Amino acid sequence: MLKNFNATVTIAVNGQVALDMLTQSVPFTMILLNLEMRVLDGYQTMAYLSEHNYDVPVLAFTSLVDHQMY
């Protein structure tokens, strides 16, 4: 969907790969972050970004559902 708006989309298979991309000086204007990634989850990735003062907007999400709510 983002490509329909001429956005360049880069996909990282887990949080560690995402951090590797960020630390290689690849410029990102926004990060869509799954909280339930493998290797390094979204919570750990966000903690790293906060600790290292990354000034990039982050939209964090998860697909987990609490079935007791329904």
Owning domain of residue 7: 2-69
Task: Look at the pTM and tell me if it is higher than 0.85.
Answer: no
List, for residues 10-62, the tens digit of each pLDDT value: 888 888 888 898 888 767 888 888 888 778 888 888 898 899 888 889 888 88
59 residue type, one letter = L
Domain count, the chain: 1
Structure tokens at 42: 């979204």
Q: Which residues contact 62 (CB under 8 A, 6 or more apart)?
A: 34, 35, 36, 42
* 8 A C-beta contact, residue 29 and residue 56: yes
Distance between CA atoms of 70 and 66, rounded to whole angstroms? 8
Q: What CATH code is carried by the domain that includes residue 18?
A: 3.40.50.2300
List, for residues 28-42, the tens digit of each pLDDT value: 888 888 888 778 888
Q: Which residues contact 13 (CB under 8 A, 6 or more apart)?
A: 38
